[in-house]
Structure 1
Amino acid sequence: MTMKITTWNINSVRLRIGLVERFLKEESPDILCLQEIKCLNDQFPRKAFEKAGYPHIAVHGQKGYHGVAIASRTPFEEERADQFCSKEDCRHIAIRLKGNVHIHNFYVPAGGDEPDPAVNDKFAHKLDFMTEMAERFADTVDKKSILVGDLNVAPREHDVWSHKQLLKVVSHTPVEVEHMARIIERTGWVDVARELIPEPEKLYTWWSYRAKDWKASNRGRRLDHIWVTPALKKAALAGGRDAYTIHEDARSWEKPSDHAPVSLTLAL
């Protein structure tokens, strides 16, 4: 049995529902995890997902900002939404599938522009959020868990277009990379992309809207991730490199998100 899971920061699901419908038709993942849906739960375009064959939906949304959702072809047995840092931001949704497989979908705070928590509350929030992530997942090492989402950190040298030029730019600073490393170490998370496609090959999932021709400049960052616990490592890597895909073409669709969808097929 295989399961194809996709993560995508859609940057407004209502604005880009046509792109979502196109992706579901062309790529047919079993589960789609979205971030930055930017709508309340009752505003989520459920009918479009149901029509596309994804009637099982978990949503944790808020008005105009943030928000995450999971759409599945098949039923799931449980859902939950956690809050972090004593804030009401909607940045996490989780489901439990048959076979006790847990999927966690995250949208980590971007962190603003200044990488100094003393002067930038947004950056301080990002670091606090990641600290809580590390604490909460400390007891999941033996569970079958998948963590996906826009984690807003490009951790490795070849996850950005220029390691040297981005060391002081939010998303690639040493302190953010250290915080991400702690999350991984506490649970033994496997960064599937880099297990299947080792460095020095460059991997990007995000390209700024500021570039007139994003493909020509190719100044990307790998901000979108798929991780698994050790219990699912064999399943995640069984399909080899072909099982992992960054759907770069979607970045060129009309009025796209600045993030590309990322998919993994697991052999469960």
Structure 2
Amino acid sequence: MSFTIASWNINSLLPRLSVVARLLREEHPEVLCLQKCKAAKGDVPLSVFEDLGYPHSAIRDQGQVNGVAIFSRMPIVETAEADIAGQGEARYLFARLANGIGIHNMYVPAGGSIPDASNDPGFGKKKAFLADARDRFRADRPTNAILVGDLNIAPDQDDVYDHALLKNQVTHSPDESDMLAAVREAGDWVDVLRKVQPTGAMYSWWSYRWWNAKVPVGHKNDKGRRIDHIWASPDLVVRLQSAWVDRTARDWKGTSDHAPVFASFDI
């Protein structure tokens, strides 16, 4: 049986509810994870998701700031929240599905404007978040699990449109790439997008002013970054069927500046 999970930084759920509904109607993933929902839990119209075949949900909100959510076709039998690095923000949500798979939905802080914690508190906040996530996965190594989310780091040269230009900027600095690798290694996670496509341009975020659907993938004017990720524990990676970025959804009217990312497994 094929099991597909989708992850999308929706950049405000309520004004983009129609594009979320379109994605679910067209792609039919078993699970959809959202980040940056920016909606109070009571304001999320669950009936819309129920009508689309997603009667099960878990939502962690912070009013109209941050926020993560999981919508599922199958029952959710367990949920857990964690205040990563004690920052008091709704950036992490766990759900275990009836089929036993654990879903970690994570939204890493953006990291300020310069990759220097001594001069930018935002970058220090990002480092603290990643360090705590690393320690948590090291202490409790995931099995039968998938981690998804906007991790706000494009770690490799092929994950950005211009490595030389961006190597000392936030999201692509060596410090961030090393921190993200430490989180991944602590949980023995496998980056499934790069498992499917080890090399070559792959992006999931484009500024609204840069996006141009007519520009080919990897062209010098395809000014994207791969900051949205799907990781899997080793016991699930052996069941991986495919993983991809849905660039077409990035071109929909009124959509997010992120494209959704997908992975399918033989469960």
Alignment TM-score > 0.5, same fold: yes
Amino acid at match of 1:173: S
Range moving further from structure 2, 59-68 or 145-154:
59-68
1:215, CA displacement in angstroms? Answer: 4.8
Is the 1:141–1:230 contact (alpha carbons within 8 Å) kept by the matching residues of 2?
no
Partner of 2:11: 11
Query: How far apart are the structure 1 equivalents of 2:253 and 2:21?
Result: 13
Aligned residues of 1:60 and 1:90 also touching (Cα < 8 A): yes
Change (3 A) 1:70 1:116: same
Judge conservation of contact 2:112–2:170 (CA < 8 Å) in 1.
yes
Partner of 1:113: 113
- For 2:24 and 2:213, the matched residues in 1 are separated by 24
Code of the residue aligned with 1:161 in structure 2: it is Y
5 Å-filtered alignment, 1:46-125, equals: 46-125=46-125
Amino acid in the other structure paired with 1:93: L
**Whole-angstrom CA distance in 2 between matches of 1:87 and 1:142:** 23
Q: Name the CA shift for 1:215/1:61 in 2 (closer, same or farther; >3 Å).
A: farther
Give unmatched runs, 5+ long, in structure 1: none
Answer yes or no: is the 8 Å Cα contact 2:206–2:258 preserved in 1: yes
TM-score scaled to structure 1, two decimals? 0.94
Deviations 1:207-230 (Å, cap 9, x if unpaired)? 111226365331000000000111
Aligned residue in 2 for 1:233 = 237
Q: Which residue pairs with 1:257 in the alignment?
A: 256
Q: Out of 223, 226, 244, which is 2:227 matched to?
A: 223
Q: Which amino acid aligns with 1:24?
A: L
| Structure 2: distance between partners of 1:21 and 1:163 | 35
Distance apart, 1:99 and its partner CA: 4.0
Match of 1:245 in 2: 244
Distance 2:198 2:28 in 1: 27
Displacement of 1:98 after TM fit? 2.5
Task: Could you tell me which runs of 5 or more consecutive residues in structure 2 were left unpaired when the two chains were aligned.
Answer: 216-220
Q: Distance in 2 between matches of 1:142 and 1:113?
A: 32
Amino acid corresponding to residue 244 of structure 1 in structure 2: A
In structure 2, the partner of 1:202 is 201
In 1, Cα distance between equivalents of 2:180 and 2:114:
18
What amino acid is the match of 1:197? Q
- Give the whole-Å Cα distance in 2 for the aligned partners of 1:168 and 1:215: 29
Displacement of 1:140: 4.0
**Secondary structure, counterpart of 2:62 in structure 1:** coil
Residue-by-residue CA offset, 1:167-222 (whole Å, 9 max, x unaligned): 111000000001001111112110101111011x1100111112263653310000
The residue that corresponds to 1:33 in the other structure is: 33
Per the alignment, residue 137 of structure 1 pairs with: 137
2: CA distance, partners of 1:30 / 1:212: 29
RMSD: 1.3
Secondary structure of the 1:137 match is helix
Name the CA distance, whole Å, in 1 between partners of 2:142 and 2:244.
27
Give the match for residue 146 of structure 1.
146
**Consecutive aligned runs of 4 or more in structure 1 exceeding 6 Å deviation:** none
Aligned-partner SS, 1:138 = helix
SS class of match (1:77): strand
